[in-house]
């Protein structure tokens, strides 16, 4: 009995000493810890911002913590992960119109798809085609007639055309066009909703035709095929000379496509109370909740914008003075001629003229560019696509501001109004002529003459330049 009790005391003392050494860090912990790579993610896949890859199942001895053990902590982690905005922006819709979608890519990570695998496919053959023609340009009458005749008579499609285009005087007097004019479906902008009828959009003209096509579809946008028949043609990669071959390729499917992100914009009138004490926020501070007058705030305009939102001083001779918020936090005040909030597609438009960098449309970002700022250190910046920007008049602004959306719907912004901007879930799927990388750089070189200079002549002597000088 004494030997047994002695053994128990020795084992107890050895366990106590071992625990003390573990606390002091001399011995490793005896219990088995769960590897981080084997644990379930705290957030759902669409909230964590990436694809979840599971490792092979380990034996039960390798993992001592089960799913049930972490069930109590999951709600807290879920609450931490559920946010209104995400680092990489909202996942864009992959269906465009009734019948078009992007080929699924199971290897995509963090919602960034391999450009080589970004291809267009059709669930059903397209039947309804919208043709948009640049107005007030007589040189486009013949291409417009050729395209419509090809789509109606050879492809046997239902072609939608804007009524003011068909009612053009030159077309009304054309006998060859009147033969199939009655087979065209007409619509009027602002009166007829065709957003759920169109399978494919074909644009004839410049970049303005693509912007106009985007404005017609405030939700899901059908694929857009743009032919270069305008002045600049940065967004129109196709040549009209081979339009039949190009259209046939698109109808076959598997065409390269680029998703041009849009901005979802809301204009809220009377959202802020006109009170100097309420507007006295500290620099880089969060706007207090009592600024917002929920009863008076009213959304007067909601748009999807492809290029940019421009806030400027309008006809006033005073500097524009607006405050810029990011996710409710005051970032800075803009003193100058105004500010441009643009998509990557719009970075090569007004923003580039104002000194901003040019961003490839596949980059998930929002560009903020000041217009002639009264500060030498105010440079253009890029913010993540998932944040919400808000622009308001500063409380000490001497005049109102004016805002326009892709150059349209210009209106005045008073004290107490706000403009909320974030990335839309409905991009514009623009069909590429070659691929989304080559087309963009080709447009930079051809349209903007990016990095084009007279080439340097090669040296005739193969020796080093330092030796020739000596």
Give the residue numbers annotated as catalytic, written as ranges. 207
What crossing angle do the helices spanning 141-149 and 243-252 adopt, rounded to 10°?
Answer: 40
Report the distance separating Cα 48 and Cα 50, nearest Å: 6
Spatial neighbors of 70 by CB under 8 A, at least 6 apart, are 39, 40
Report the distance separating Cα 397 and Cα 336, nearest Å: 12
- In the three-class reduction of DSSP (H, G, I as helix; E, B as strand; rest coil), residue 442 is classed as helix
- In the three-class reduction of DSSP (H, G, I as helix; E, B as strand; rest coil), residue 208 is classed as helix
Pick from 91, 108, 92: nearest CA to 52: 108
Task: Judge whether 162 and 188 are in contact, CB under 8 Å.
Answer: yes
* Surface-to-core class of residue 4, CB atoms within 10 Å of its CB (0-12 exposed, 13-18 middle, 19+ buried): exposed
Spatial neighbors of 46 by CB under 8 A, at least 6 apart, are 91
Residue with tokens 């303005």: 208
Angle of CA points 245, 251, 254, to nearest 5°: 100
295: left (phi over 0), alpha (psi -120 to 50) or beta: alpha
């Amino acid at each position: 009995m004494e030997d047994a009790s002695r053994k128990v005391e020795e084992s107890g003392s050895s366990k106590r000493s071992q625990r003390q050494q573990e606390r002091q860090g001399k011995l490793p912990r005896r219990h088995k810890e769960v590897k981080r790579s084997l644990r379930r993610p705290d957030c759902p896949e669409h909230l964590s911002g990436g694809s979840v890859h599971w490792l092979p199942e380990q034996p039960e001895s390798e993992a001592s913590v089960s799913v049930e053990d972490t069930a109590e902590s999951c709600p807290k982690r879920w609450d931490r992960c559920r946010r209104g905005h995400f680092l990489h922006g909202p996942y864009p819709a992959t269906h465009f119109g009734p019948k078009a979608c992007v080929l699924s890519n199971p290897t995509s990570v963090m919602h960034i798809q391999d450009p080589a695998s970004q291809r267009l496919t059709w669930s059903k053959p397209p039947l309804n085609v919208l043709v948009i023609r640049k107005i007030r340009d007589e040189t486009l009458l013949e291409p417009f007639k050729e395209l419509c005749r090809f789509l109606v008579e050879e492809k046997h499609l239902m072609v939608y055309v804007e009524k003011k285009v068909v009612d053009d005087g030159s077309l009304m007097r054309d006998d060859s066009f009147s033969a199939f004019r009655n087979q065209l479906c007409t619509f009027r902008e602002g009166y007829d909703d065709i957003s759920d009828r169109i399978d494919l959009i074909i644009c004839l003209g410049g970049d303005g035709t693509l912007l106009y096509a985007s404005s017609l579809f405030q939700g899901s946008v059908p694929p857009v095929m743009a032919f270069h028949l305008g002045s600049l043609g940065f967004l129109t990669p196709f040549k009209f000379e081979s339009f039949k071959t190009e259209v046939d390729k698109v109808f076959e499917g598997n065409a390269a496509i680029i998703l041009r992100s849009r901005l979802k914009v809301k204009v809220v009138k009377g959202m802020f109370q006109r009170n100097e004490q309420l507007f006295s926020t500290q620099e880089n501070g969060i706007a207090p909740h009592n600024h917002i007058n929920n009863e008076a705030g009213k959304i007067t305009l909601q748009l999807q914008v492809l290029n940019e939102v421009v806030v400027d001083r309008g006809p006033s001779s005073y500097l524009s003075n607006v405050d810029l918020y990011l996710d409710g936090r005051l970032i800075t005040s803009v003193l100058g001629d105004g500010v441009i909030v643009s998509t990557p597609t719009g970075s090569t438009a007004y923003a580039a003229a104002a000194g901003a960098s040019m961003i490839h449309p596949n980059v998930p970002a929002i560009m903020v560019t000041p217009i002639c700022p009264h500060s030498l250190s105010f440079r253009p910046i890029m913010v993540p696509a998932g944040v919400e920007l808000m622009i308001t008049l500063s409380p000490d602004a001497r005049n109102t501001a004016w805002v326009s959306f892709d150059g349209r719907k210009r209106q005045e912004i008073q004290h107490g109004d706000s403009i909320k901007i974030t990335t839309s879930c409905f991009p514009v799927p623009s069909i590429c002529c070659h691929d989304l990388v080559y087309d963009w750089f080709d447009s930079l070189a051809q349209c903007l003459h990016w990095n084009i200079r007279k080439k340097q002549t090669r040296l005739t002597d193969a020796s080093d330049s330092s030796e020739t000088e000596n």
